[in-house]
Amino acid sequence: MIDQNIVVIGEHFQGKLKRVTYDVLACARELERLRPATVRVVLLGDDVAGPAYEIVQVTGLDVIAMHIPGLLSYNREVYTGVLEDLLDVLKPAYICAAATTEGLDLAPALAVRLRASCVTGVERVLEVDGRVCFARTMCGGKIVAQVRPETDAAVVTVQPGSFEVTTSEDTIPGAVDIRRVDFEPRRSRSLGVTIGQAEDSGLQEADIIVSAGRGIGKRENLDLIDRLAALFPKSAVGGTRPVCDLGWLEYKKQVGLTGATVTPELYFACGISGAQQHLSGMRGAHFIVAVNSDPHAAIFNVADVCVVEDVATFLPLFIKEWEQSLPARETSTSDSDST
């Protein structure tokens, strides 16, 4: 029997490979472990040579680089058009992309074109009764569903950070196959990628992040978050997407897949449910404390310490307890640069 094909769609921008491509490759490797397969990486764009040579060097895999003059960034119409033709020939059993805004844009469209199934946000690959399934979370992270493709091909998007990325020394470089394709989109036109907002949020430098979710109840309770953060040296305030959507915090404070990825010493999650979107941005924190009144909140699955309490009642107790434990003469407790 001929090995099946697995295709990984690589992400890149301005001539640089995006790290998330390695997360996708790690998922493809898991699939390869279950069924003998040939894994290939496909890149599309005007400037694909750099990323292509990086992949073959680091992974030893072969890369098909679709050189599309004029395609400076991802475009759905071009990607689906070019990939449909290529994948019709390769007939891969699995097409893996990242669970990013790009992958989420592409995967369902590609699945429809290829009459394939589509599974988004894959966190684990498993075999059940001799068939390959994908585990993904839903319901704000409270439930894990095992999804089984019923089609010959499946397009999956891989949740960043879910698979262990390994690198081996002494890899024999794979081959780069550069193919020039001309493709003019007819119904869409890319107008360029721009910077949406300033990045300086203090989140990256902070040792301690106190973060707010919708579960803090109301905007006024952000005062508690600020007060708690001020007690820690080198701290910053962050939040979930819904809190930013409500206008309670600026978007630059958002932690998660579409916001910042942070790895502080302590992540203090207040009223955060723990949806995958958010966990992707903070699961690398060294120590996680979660306060939430919902005992089933998914954040408790990734927390080191779980406090099942309402944020609005617990934080004042905690702040008071802390302040009372400090020597009376101490005056600089709210000086956030003191150490």
Partner 1 sequence: MKTRRCPTKLLVCIKQVCETETSFLIDETGRWIRLEEPSAFRMNRPDEYAVEEAVRISETIADSSIEVISVGPARVSAAIRRALGMGAAHGIHIVTPEDGYLSPFVTASWIASFARNREYDLILTGVMSEDEMQGQVGSMIAELLGMPCATSTVSERLLPETGTVRVEREIEGGLRDALELRLPAVLTIQTGINEPRYPSLSKLLRANKYELETIDSRSIGDPEPPEQVIRVSYPEHTRAGLVLNGTGQEKAAHLLRILRERSLIQ
List binders of partner 1 among 142-161 (CB under 8 A). 142-151, 154
Task: Tell me how far apart the alpha carbons of residues 16 and 34 are, in angstroms, rounded to a whole number.
Answer: 31
Backbone angles phi, psi at 76, to 5 degrees: -55, -45
Nearer to partner 1, 177 or 207 (CB): 207
Pick between residue 22 and residue 74 the one whose CB is nearest to partner 1.
74
Closest CB 246 distance from partner 1, rounded Å? 8
Pick between residue 4 and residue 268 the one whose CB is nearest to partner 1: 268
- Residue 174 or 274 with smaller CB distance to partner 1: 274
Provide, rounded to whole angstroms, the least separation between the CB of residue 37 and partner 1: 20
Binders of partner 1 among residues 8 to 27 (CB under 8 A) are: none
Give me 198's structure tokens: 């300033």
**Looking at beta carbons only, is 5 or 75 nearer to partner 1?**
75
- When asked if residue 296 is in the footprint of partner 1 (CB under 8 A), the reply is yes
In the chain, how long is the greatest CA-to-CA distance? 78
3-class state of residue 276 by DSSP: helix
Among 5, 100, 211, 221, binds partner 1 (CB under 8 A): 100
Residues 113-132 that bind partner 1 (CB under 8 A): 113, 115-121, 128
CB of 63 to partner 1, least distance (A): 22
Answer for the pair 233, 206: CB distance below 8 angstroms, yes or no: no
Residue 147: burial class (beta carbons within 10 Å; 0-12, 13-18, 19+): middle
- Residue with smaller CB distance to partner 1, 39 or 209: 209
CA atoms within 13 A of residue 93's CA, in its CB half-sphere: 18
- Contacting partner 1 within 56-95 (CB under 8 A): 73-77, 80
Q: Name which position in 190, 204, 222, 230 contacts partner 1 (CB under 8 A).
A: 190
* One residue of 2, 168, 170, 186 binding partner 1 per CB under 8 A: 186
Q: Is 105 in the site for partner 1 (CB under 8 A)?
A: yes
CA 318 – CA 316 distance, rounded (Å): 5
Site for partner 1 in 245-274 (CB under 8 A): 245, 247, 251-252, 257-258, 265-266, 273
Q: What is the DSSP letter of 170?
A: S
CA quadruple 325, 329, 335, 338: dihedral sign? negative
Query: Is 34 a binder of partner 1 (CB under 8 A)?
Result: no
CB of 13 to partner 1, least distance (A): 8
Element (H, E) at 16: strand 16-17
CB 180 to partner 1: min, Å? 24
Token representation of residue 138:
């839903």
Distances (CA, A) of 9 to 44, 48, 64, 263, 339: 8, 12, 10, 27, 45
> Contact between 202 and partner 1 (CB under 8 A)?
no
Question: Phi/psi at 177 (nearest 5 deg)?
Answer: -115, 100
Binding of partner 1 at residue 234 (CB under 8 A)? no
For residue 217, give the amino acid letter: G
